[in-house]
Structure formats: C-alpha cells, structure tokens
Structure 1
C-alpha cells in the first residue's frame, strides 16, 4: 500500500496500527527513534493519510512486539490491494464489530441509511436488536456492539443522520408486539427518519439496502451488507451511483412529518395488539 491518498483501506490500516501501538508497552518516542521516523510520519500513517511499504509496516509491528494474530491482521491489510472495493466477513446480521464500519461512522459528517426489511441498526432498540440476533453465536456481545455504535449521536458534533425505511420492515414482527411498540416509539421520536410506502414506485437503484457516508476531509464511503460479508466502496463510480440512489430515496419517501404520523399509527397498532395478547394470557389461554 504505497499510495499517499487517504482511502477506506488506508484508514482501516492506520486504525489497526494505532490500536496496536496503544496496547503495546513500547513508548511512542522510543518507537519512532528506533524506526528512524518523525512524529509527523507516524501521525499521518495512523490517520490513513500516508502510505508506506509493507516492509516498514512489518518493522513497525515488530518493534511493538505484537502478538501473532495482530501481526497477521495488520500485514493482511498492508498487503491488500487498493481497489476501492473491500470485503469484510462477519457473522450473520452482526457486522457491528467491523473496524472499517466503526471508524467511518465515527468520523462521518452525514450518514444516509436505507433498509428494506429491518430497522437500521443505528436506530434499533436493544430488545429489537436482541430479537433479531436471538440464537446466533455471540449475540449478546453483538447487541452490545450495536448499542455502542449508536453513541456517535451523543457526541458534541454528531453526524447528520437520514434514515429511509421501506414499509415492509414495519410488517415484519420482530420479538413480539411489545418490542415492536417500543421500536415504533424510537422511530417516532428519533427524527431524520422517512418511510417509503408500499405505494411508492421504486427505481432499480433501490433494490438493495445500503449506507452512504460523507466526510469533511475525504471522499464518501458506501457500505453494503451481504449476508455474512460486508462490502465497502469508495470509488468514484460507486460514489456517483449511490449519490443518485440517495436522490431517489428523497424523491419516493414520505416527508418526515408524514412518516412520524405513520409510525404513530403503527405504534398504536402494536399497542392494541400487546394489550389484546395480555388480556388473552390473563384469561388463562395460551397467548
């Protein structure tokens, strides 16, 4: 990875180097002295704005006396081609611990998310997320990771989030009416959420869910989850295509006010359903 231009891969590598350095007992001053680097070079490399050779990366990790897993992970990133299309594996519906996702969400200026059959992860309640992941290995940790991701909106300068949700997600019962009721309230009061009704004519660009992120200092990154892998794209062609998708979303979705009204109706529907189930249970019948 010789390129000096910042891209999604160089930033993931820089983050991995920074994390390894912070876990190490080696002092930063000693590290740069032994490597013959300047503090500026180290800062740019860890920030993903300066490239260097895999040999230099190996020297860096070696001086940190990193464990074999850390070494292999970092060297894998250092030797990965800069293609603009980066595949990252993860558990089914559990990409929340992916560093490439986390570092870009944390630094994003805007986040536009489109989902078709589930509520976007950044808007899910804990119970909704737990119900989605129920039975999967590591589900408890994955739910905690998803809740931690949402903390970006509590930062002093949070990203501006706009979330587009296809109506099918509201028809999908996740965890029961109580869980869905609380999730509808979350959507109702969150803001920045727009519903795409079944009556909308969807263009081909909206066949697949995605998240498009923009930044103050570098080019946009688009994230697409595909089963047990996620794809990150930062090419000019991908950016142009997903910018068009974002325009299409804004065109076919209800306004925020109309969407809030819809979420309120759905909340009332699930509220009545949970009350009905509670009354049936109290009457001695199986709910």
Structure 2
C-alpha cells in the first residue's frame, strides 16, 4: 500500500502500528535509530498519512519483536488493496471492539447515526444493551459498548446527530423498566431526533447507517450488516450518504418535537412497569 493520502485503510494500519509499538519494549528513539528512518516518517505512518511498502512495514514490525498474531494482522493490512471500501468481520451485531469503528468514532468531528429497529449503540443504557445481547459474552460486549460512549466525555467530543425510527421505541429490550430508563436517556440527551411512522420515507432511508466527518480528512460512512461491517471513504459513496443525511434532516421531527414523543413513550413504559410489578401483573410492553 503505497498511497500517501490518508484513507480508512491507512489509518487502520497506522493505528495497528502505533498500538504494537506501545505494547512493545522498544522506545520510539531506538526504533528511529534501528530503522534509519526519520521520526517524521514513523509519526506519519502511525497517523496513516504516509504510505510505504509492505517490506518496510515488515521491517518496522520485526524491530518491535511482536507476537505472530500481531505481525500477521499488521501485514494483512499492509498488503490489503485500498479500493475505498473496507469489509470487517465482527461478532454478530456487536461491532463495539472493531478497531476501524473505534478509531473513526474517536477522531470524528460529527457523527450522524440512523437506526430503524434499535436505539443507536452510542445512546444505549447498559441495561438496554444487556437486553439486546443474549450471548455468553454479553457482559463483555456491554462493557465494550459503554467504553465506546466515552468519546462524549472528551474535552472536545464529536457532535452527535442521532436519528431513530419510531419502530425502535416499540422493541422492548429488557422489559418496561429498562425501556423506561432508555426513554429518559433519549429525552434528556441532545441531538436526538425521531423519524415517525407518519413520515414519508425516501428509498435512501430504508437502511440504517452512520456517517462521520473529520477535521483533517474526508468523511467515512459505516454500515453494519450483522456479522460484517462496511466502511467507505470513496468520494461517490460518501456523497450519497451525505445526501441521506440531508433526507434525514428533512423528514425527522425537530429535537423539541422528538422529546415530546420520547416523554409519551417513557410514560407508557412507566405505566407498564407499574402494572407488571403489581400483584399478579404480567404486563408486556
């Protein structure tokens, strides 16, 4: 991969190189001396803003004396062709530990997120996430999802623009108590807008997606398809997703109107949880 332009693949490779160096016992200055490279070259490689040959990448990793899985992973990235689209496998519907996703969310300026049948992962309460995960690794995945949300605790967090279809509010993950608390989360969280059943949806909004913009490189779109995630920074593709964002802005309720609906759903789940906790109560949301 010799391209010198930053792209999703080069940034993922740079992130892998940087993490491998941090985990090794090799100091930055020693690496510069051993490789005979400038500090600037290594820094640019680790930021994904400079390309080099796979032979140079092998030399870099070799000097770190990494384990075999780390070496194999980095070399697979170095030898991957940049076609403007990245396909990454992950646990079924659980992309929270996916480095390509974390890297871009952590550096994004703006995150547009559109979900149809679930609450966006970046807005989920721990109990809602737990209700969505029925695997032996559920608790680990819940913890990873909560860590993802820490991007909003940074001094300069990304601007979140979240759009949720009304159908997601009907899916009672974890029961009325959990959904009541999740509705409160949406009610008091800024940047959340509802797409109602009454909205006339264009074909562009038939599928969920995320669209991220950045201060120092072009946007990246992200689509999750069960056990597979697709990232794209291809100009034509991201242009289409930008138009999808414009469609969302047009059809969704305002934030204030959305809060009124979230409040109604919170009230509904509040009543259901009270009925469920009453003697003999078996209410189902």
When the two structures are superposed, what TM-score results if normalisation uses the length of structure 2? 0.98
Asked if 1 retains the 8 angstrom alpha-carbon contact of 2:194 and 2:252, the reply is yes
Which consecutive unaligned segments of at least 5 residues does structure 1 have? none
1:121 aligns with 2:118: no
Q: Report the counterpart of residue 3 of structure 1 in structure 2.
A: 3
Alignment of 1:200-279 (within 5 A): 200-279=199-278
- Aligned equivalents of 1:238, 1:271: Cα separation in 2: 42
Question: C-alpha offsets along residues 200-254 of structure 1, whole Å, 9 cap, x if unaligned?
Answer: 1110111110000000000000010001000000001111100100000010000
Question: C-alpha offsets along residues 167-220 of structure 1, whole Å, 9 cap, x if unaligned?
Answer: 000111111000000000000000100000001111011111000000000000
Q: Report the counterpart of residue 46 of structure 1 in structure 2.
A: 46
Alignment of 1:91-130 (within 5 A): 91-130=91-130
Q: Report the counterpart of residue 199 of structure 1 in structure 2.
A: 198
Alignment of 1:97-176 (within 5 A): 97-134=97-134, 136-176=135-175
- Aligned length, in residue pairs: 283
- Aligned equivalents of 1:198, 1:189: Cα separation in 2: 22
- Aligned equivalents of 2:157, 2:27: Cα separation in 1: 32
Q: Report the counterpart of residue 81 of structure 1 in structure 2.
A: 81
- Aligned equivalents of 2:282, 2:147: Cα separation in 1: 37
Q: Report the counterpart of residue 31 of structure 1 in structure 2.
A: 31
- Aligned equivalents of 1:138, 1:177: Cα separation in 2: 24
Q: Report the counterpart of residue 69 of structure 2 in structure 1.
A: 69
- Aligned equivalents of 2:244, 2:41: Cα separation in 1: 38
Q: Secondary structure at the match of 2:77?
A: helix
Shift >6 Å, 4+ stretches: none
Q: Secondary structure at the match of 1:112?
A: strand
- Aligned equivalents of 2:282, 2:132: Cα separation in 1: 24
- Aligned equivalents of 2:185, 2:92: Cα separation in 1: 24
CA RMSD between the two structures: 0.9
Q: Report the counterpart of residue 20 of structure 2 in structure 1.
A: 20
Asked if 1 retains the 8 angstrom alpha-carbon contact of 2:276 and 2:282, the reply is no
- Aligned equivalents of 1:81, 1:186: Cα separation in 2: 41
Residue 137 of structure 1 and its aligned partner are, at CA, apart by 3.8
